[in-house]
Amino acid sequence: MKEVVRVADVTKLYIMGEQRVEALKGISMAVMQGDFVAIMGASGSGKSTCMNILGCLDVPTTGEYLLEGINVGKLAKNELAEIRNRKLGFVFQGFNLLNRTSARENVELPLVYGKVPAAARREKAMAALAQVGLAERADHFSNQLSGGQQQRVAIARALVNEPAIILADEPTGNLDSATSAELMTLFQGLNRQGITIIMVTHEQDIAAYAGRQVVFRDGLIISDRLTPPSKA
């Protein structure tokens, strides 16, 4: 099995005035292709800092982060931006869709940044929408869609570049329990297709959909265990 992520003894230190905050105190973990990982922990535990580093939005103070063998900590800002667009798909709690823009056009956005020709963008976007069961809503504006449908559009946008990893940050945080269950079943289906997913959540019932749970506390990983998904 191919290793997608390797984090080796990573620390992250923030200096705010005279205050030093050790957000990460030397964490190590590996993620293989096809893993579905839930990252958990209380506010201030380090899980969001870890997610920012995994998403190439920040770099370690010390230690190494290898993404498909590339040492991310040694990249310039423009190289980080390129790797974010090519190798990572992001799903956020707040959907982050453009309102007066169709579902298809929202999904096409990463391809626009990647300078993919218009015809190919449309074809790839429609295929990604079909993956999440929303092909028939391609021409609807995002403000004409339910919360669950908007998050499906966001997942399609994350999928459209065929990234190495989907990073999902509290993806069900704005959804009711029934819609959350539908969405997590969708994530499980995508994972069964071989898509690697790393998800931050504070909800144990949502983490239960993943096959592996990593728990943070005070900037350290205190638990990393495989867990048979409790729901199929």
DSSP bridge partners of 25: 11
**CA dist list (Å): 220 to 29, 31, 60, 210:** 11, 17, 14, 20
Predicted confidence at residue 41, as pLDDT, reads 95
Task: Determine contact, residues 48/216, Cβ cutoff 8 Å.
Answer: no
pLDDT in tens, 55-95: 999 889 999 999 999 998 888 888 988 899 889 999 998 88
Report the alpha-carbon distance of residue 100 to residue 97 in Å, rounded: 9
Report the alpha-carbon distance of residue 46 to residue 52 in Å, rounded: 10
**CA dist list (Å): 140 to 92, 100, 136:** 20, 9, 9
Structural element, H or E, at residue 225: strand 220-226
Predicted confidence at residue 231, as pLDDT, reads 62
Predicted confidence at residue 161, as pLDDT, reads 92
Predicted confidence at residue 74, as pLDDT, reads 86
Domains, in order of start, for the chain: 34-59+76-226 (3.40.50.300)
Strand, helix or coil for residue 124: helix
pTM (two decimals): 0.93
Name the stretches of the chain with pLDDT < 70: 231-232
